[in-house]
Structure 1
Amino acid sequence: MSRVIRWGLLSAGNIVSQFARDFSVVENAVIHAVAARNGENARAFAREHGIANAYEGYEALLADPEIDAIYIGTPHNLHFEHAKVALEHGKAVLCEKPMTVTPQECEQLQSVAEHRGGYLMEAMWTYFLPPVQKALRWVQEGRIGRVCHIKADFGYPQFPYDSKKRVYDASLAGGCLLEMGVYPVALAWLFMQQDPTDIQVMARFAPNGVEDDLSVLFNYPESVAILGTSFRCKLQNWAYIIGDEGYIAIPDFWRAREASLHVLDDRVDHFVDERATDGFHYEAQAMTNDLLAGRAGSSVVTARDSLAIQRQMAMIREAFADDA
Structure 2
Amino acid sequence: MAGIYNENTAPLDAAAAAKAAFAAVEGKPFPQDIFTAPELNWAVIGCGVIANQMAQSLALAGRKVYGIANRTRDKAEAFAREYGVEHVYDTFEDLYADPAVDAIYITTPHNTHIDFLRDALAAGKHVLCEKAITLNSAELEEARAIADEHGVVLMDATTVLHMPLYTELRRRASSGEFGRLRLAQINFGSWHSYEDTGNRFWNRNLAGGAMLDIGVYALSAARLFMESQPTEVVSLANCFETGVDEESGFVTRNAQGQLGVFSLTMHAKQPKRADLCFDDCYIEIMSYPRADRAVITWTEDGHREEVEAGVEAYALCYEIADLEKAVAGDESKRELIKYAADVMETMTQLRRDWGVVYPEEE
The TM-score with structure 1 as length reference comes to 0.91
2:296 is matched with 261
Taking only aligned residues, the RMSD between alpha carbons, in angstroms, comes to 2.3
Alignment partner of 2:218 out of 158, 171, 184 = 184
How many pairs does the alignment contain? 320
CA distance in 2, matches of 1:110, 1:129: 23
Alignment partner of 1:134 out of 157, 168, 179 = 168
Judged with a 3 Å threshold, the aligned counterparts in structure 2 of structure 1 residues 278 and 211 are, in CA distance, closer, same or farther, namely same
Letter of the 1:251 partner, please give it: M
CA distance in 2, matches of 1:69, 1:152: 33
- Find the residue that maps to 1:317 and give its secondary structure: helix
1:85 is matched with 119
1:210 is matched with 244
Deviation at 1:274, TM superposition (A): 6.0
CA distance in 2, matches of 1:107, 1:31: 29
Alignment partner of 2:141 out of 96, 107, 111 = 107
Contact 1:121 1:301 in 2 (8 A): no
Alignment partner of 2:98 out of 53, 64, 68 = 64
CA distance in 1, matches of 2:39, 2:316: 19
CA distance in 1, matches of 2:246, 2:124: 38
Identify the range of structure 1 (261-270 vs 68-77) with the bigger mean alpha-carbon deviation. 261-270
Please tell me whether residue 248 in structure 1 is matched to residue 286 in structure 2.
no
2:150 is matched with 116
1:287 is matched with 323
Describe how 1:1-324 pairs up with structure 2 within 5 A: 4-26=39-61, 30-220=64-254, 221-264=256-299, 266-273=302-309, 275=311, 277-291=313-327, 293=328, 295=329, 299=333, 301-321=335-355
**What does the per-residue CA deviation read over 1:193-225, in whole Å, with 9 as the maximum and x for residues that have no partner?**
423232221211111221110111112343311
- Find the residue that maps to 2:146 and give its secondary structure: helix
CA distance in 2, matches of 1:119, 1:18: 22
Contact 2:322 2:333 in 1 (8 A): no
Letter of the 1:275 partner, please give it: V
- Find the residue that maps to 2:89 and give its secondary structure: strand
Identify the range of structure 1 (68-77 vs 43-52) with the bigger mean alpha-carbon deviation. 43-52
Q: Which runs of 5+ in 2 are unaligned?
A: 1-35, 357-362
The TM-score with structure 2 as length reference comes to 0.82
**What does the per-residue CA deviation read over 1:98-117, in whole Å, with 9 as the maximum and x for residues that have no partner?**
11111111111111111111
CA distance in 2, matches of 1:4, 1:188: 31
CA distance in 2, matches of 1:113, 1:197: 27
CA distance in 1, matches of 2:69, 2:187: 33
Identify the range of structure 1 (217-226 vs 199-208) with the bigger mean alpha-carbon deviation. 217-226
Judged with a 3 Å threshold, the aligned counterparts in structure 2 of structure 1 residues 40 and 315 are, in CA distance, closer, same or farther, namely same
Deviation at 1:60, TM superposition (A): 2.1
- Find the residue that maps to 1:34 and give its secondary structure: strand
- Find the residue that maps to 1:144 and give its secondary structure: coil
